[in-house]
A and B are shown apart, each in its own frame.
Chain A
Amino acid sequence: MSRAAASPPLVPPAKQEHDATLFGMGIFLASEFLLFGGLFTILVFYRIVHGHEVVEASKELHLWIGALNTVVLLTSSLAAALAAKSAKDGDQRLTQRLLLAAAALGAVFLVIKAGEYSLEYGDGMLPVPGGGGQLVEPLSRLFMNIYLVATGLHAVHLTIGIGLFVFTAFRIWHRSIRLPQDQLSIVVPTLYWHLVDIVWIFLYPALYLQR
């Protein structure tokens, strides 16, 4: 190795920072997938070991509420993807509106999800203190446990995503983000949003469609 005649860096710092941020986000998302990976392992494990009981338990879930929520979430993802595109085009107003639209649809998802929880609570199907009276079979209780943990963890991620979008839209309004120069500040939260929707795309069949 040699320090020889020092030359200017071959890569401009801005480009380096851009690459580093996207790459770092990619690795962060990989680690997030592994976080849900443990839960998917549990779901698959119990599906294999107790196939029949898990199928019966899955039939108790509100299939169509889940389907509606899938549509809502994917529509919000469309808005997020368009926001990333309009950020690259430098359209500040449109980007801001699309981000808020995606956040609003995310909030709709949470409201529907809360309604679904309360339906289940009313039916005595939710394994929380005061609920779950109808869960007499150990395996249906177990399935609802996993359901609650997985959808709950997903809802936490979704809430963080909504916060990120509202905050980013505020920063555009506040002029602390300028497009298209700062497009990365839009792209990174939308990447996170896509994690949230991809996790749901796998959670929905793993929970609702096992019947």
Chain B
Amino acid sequence: MSALSKTSEDGSIIGLEHEPAGETRHERESYLRAGHTLRSWLLTTDHKRIALLYLVSVTFFFFIGGLAAAIMRVDLLTPEADLLTNEGYNRAFTLHGVIMVWFFLIPSIPNVFGNFLIPLMIGARDLAFPRLNLLSWYIYWLGGLFTLWVLVSGGVDTGWTFYTPLSSMFAQGNVVMAATAVFIVGFSSILTGLNFIVTIHTMRAPGMHWGRLPLFVWSHYATSVILVLATPVLTVTLALIAAERLFGLGIFDPALGGDPLLYQHLFWFYSHPAVYIMVLPGLAVVSELVAAAARKPVFGYWFVAYSSIAIAAIGFLVWAHHMFVSGMSMYAGAVFSFLSLVVAVPSGIKVYNWTATLWKGHISLDPPFLFAMGFIGLFVVGGLTGLILAMLAVDVHVHDTYFVVAHFHYIMVGGTVSAYFGALHFWWPKMTGRLYPVFWGRVTAVMIFVGFNLTFFPQFILGFLGMPRRYHVYDQQFQVLHVLSSTGATILGFAYLFPLIYLLYALRHGTPASANPWDVTGLEWTVPSPPPKHNFERIPLVTRKPYDYEVEKEEQS
């Protein structure tokens, strides 16, 4: 592999002498320059351009969702309701949840990096259905416009979970519109998942059999299966909520013979697997980053690959652990508690295998590696507190407290967002053809890790002491911890803004990147940075395993 990377570093800095940081030959021939008009972007079927469209879109929603979080953290600085009214606070956390879950976390890694990388990694020229891919971006924006409409028309106050009978009978906000937004964006997810599954099955280059797929692709495959099979259940459930509000259909309304608990079952049948939709792509990214940083084959390739599939499969069977206090039979509770503990096994396998991969690796402290390390640390804390919550007795104690809030933020924000930024820092040179200032990448990685822990670790303690979630008026004794948390959130906010500055700066002023700036394996690094419009001049023939670093030989010599 190393021989390959050396030979492919040809000519990528041609033109540098004449025009410092000007356009390189590869950039002129790349997908970025294949058409300059707005139309050539908005009607593109190139998976790489669609990935960039998604990158801009999810970044936009990330900052809107982040703004809602910032307002909440400011309000929580004091025990009184001094910034937001009760109603306003309800709307802020609902909007934060809805936007972050459906318009950032779920589409973030799959639609940006999955879109960009899966065809490159398996040696294909595009996804199986390029027009469907573009359609899914438009559907995403249609859902996004509905969400923005909800935002300006006064918001919605049910929490992102839309629990009945609150959402169907009592909520004052724009519930139908918000449910419609989520309903619509679900179709975008389904189309993306469908596209990935078909692409991975039918578009692999000759010789790229399943045992040679990068682990990134395996995890995205598992994610796609969940997207396709879980999302329609949410779709029909939200449609029923809207029908209940609009036409008085009482499927969840006890007064009409319905059952609100049924809503929770249907909702979590989607939304627990959705947690794995959010975190599996993060695991996908970290497997790549760890192998790249260690310059070693991933320890136990098949274990890591199948653990993704196992997480997806078991993830469908644990939904009722969100409902331990909602009135279930004791036996159902025990079964769901056990299954929730089981799902930790494949997650644990991944962490052990990453660690074993790093053992005796030739590690360099590049920004992507620091993000991956941050991910592993935060994911372990989030995962272990997940085990605590899966225990019936403990869950009854801390249910609906900040303990739960801290737990899922460790997985989704500490985990997935760290992985997202790791991916951004790892593949940015490939996507744009430019290197960014590594120093600032390191600073950001460390700041995110520190800021995140300062924000959310105090929330574990808050929850354990009994601070319920979704309250903004609280007891005096909790103030110190809330102030700590808000301080951390400030650091975190700045850390999220930094990459926006130096990555955009790098677009124009960065050093042009070679085809393989990190000197790693993978088909995506064999094409120029940024890749040409059709990815591969000739479809590659794959003859070797992934992560085929020549470490063992070096060690023997």
* Residues of chain A at the chain B interface (Cβ within 8 Å): 1-11, 16, 19-20, 23-24, 27-28, 30-32, 34-39, 41-42, 45, 49-50, 53, 127-129, 137-139, 141-142, 145-146, 148-149, 153
Contact with A along B233-272 (1 / 0, CB 8 A): 1011101100100011111000111110010001001000
Picked from B128, B229, B251, B521, the residue with its CB within 8 Å of the CB of A146 is B251
Q: How far is the CB of B528 from chain A (nearest CB, A)?
A: 13
Give the 4 A-B CB pairs with smallest separation, nearest first: A138-B257, A6-B538, A142-B257, A35-B232
Q: How far is the CB of A156 from chain B (nearest CB, A)?
A: 11
Is B548 a contact of A19 with CB atoms below 8 Å?
Answer: no
- Residues in A with CB closer than 8 Å to B235 are 35
Contact with A along B502-530 (1 / 0, CB 8 A): 00000000000000000001110010000
The reply to whether the CB of B166 lies closer than 8 angstroms to some CB of chain A is no
Is B544 a contact of A145 with CB atoms below 8 Å?
Answer: no
Is A42 a contact of B251 with CB atoms below 8 Å?
Answer: yes
- Residues in B with CB closer than 8 Å to A5 are 541
Q: What is the interface of chain A mostly: helix, strand, loop, or mixed? A: helix
- Residues in A with CB closer than 8 Å to B228 are 27, 30-31, 34
Picked from A10, A34, A137, the residue with its CB within 8 Å of the CB of B232 is A34
A121 to B257, CA, bound (A): 21
A70 to B100, CA, bound (A): 45
A30 to B536, CA, bound (A): 33
Is B194 a contact of A31 with CB atoms below 8 Å?
Answer: yes
- Residues in A with CB closer than 8 Å to B231 are 31
Do A27 and B198 contact each other (CB < 8 Å), given the known contacts A42-B251, A129-B247? yes
Picked from B232, B257, B541, the residue with its CB within 8 Å of the CB of A7 is B541
* Residues of chain B at the chain A interface (Cβ within 8 Å): 1, 4, 128-129, 132, 190, 193-195, 197-199, 201-203, 205-206, 212, 228-233, 235-237, 239-240, 243, 247-251, 255-259, 262, 266, 269, 521-523, 526, 536-546, 548
Is A142 a contact of B250 with CB atoms below 8 Å?
Answer: yes
A148 to B243, CA, bound (A): 11
A138 to B250, CA, bound (A): 9
Is B262 a contact of A38 with CB atoms below 8 Å?
Answer: no
A139 to B256, CA, bound (A): 7
A10 to B209, CA, bound (A): 13
Q: How far is the CB of B499 from chain A (nearest CB, A)?
A: 29
Q: How far is the CB of B454 from chain A (nearest CB, A)?
A: 41
Is B202 a contact of A19 with CB atoms below 8 Å?
Answer: yes
Instruction: Please list 22 pairs of residues, one from A and one from B, whose beta carbons are closer than 8 Å in the complex, sorted by A's number.
Output: A1-B542, A5-B541, A6-B539, A8-B539, A9-B205, A20-B128, A20-B201, A20-B202, A24-B129, A24-B132, A30-B228, A31-B228, A35-B232, A35-B233, A38-B232, A42-B266, A50-B257, A139-B257, A142-B256, A145-B250, A148-B249, A149-B249
Residue of B nearest to A5 (CB): B541
A106 to B232, CA, bound (A): 25
Q: How far is the CB of A158 from chain B (nearest CB, A)?
A: 17
A9 to B542, CA, bound (A): 11
Residue of B nearest to A143 (CB): B257
Is A127 a contact of B249 with CB atoms below 8 Å?
Answer: yes
Is B521 a contact of A10 with CB atoms below 8 Å?
Answer: no
Is A45 a contact of B523 with CB atoms below 8 Å?
Answer: no
- Residues in A with CB closer than 8 Å to B243 are 149
Do A38 and B266 contact each other (CB < 8 Å), given the known contacts A2-B4, A27-B194, A30-B228? yes
- Residues in A with CB closer than 8 Å to B262 are 42, 45
Is B247 a contact of A128 with CB atoms below 8 Å?
Answer: yes
- Residues in B with CB closer than 8 Å to A34 are 228-230, 232-233
Do A24 and B232 contact each other (CB < 8 Å), given the known contacts A142-B250, A142-B251? no
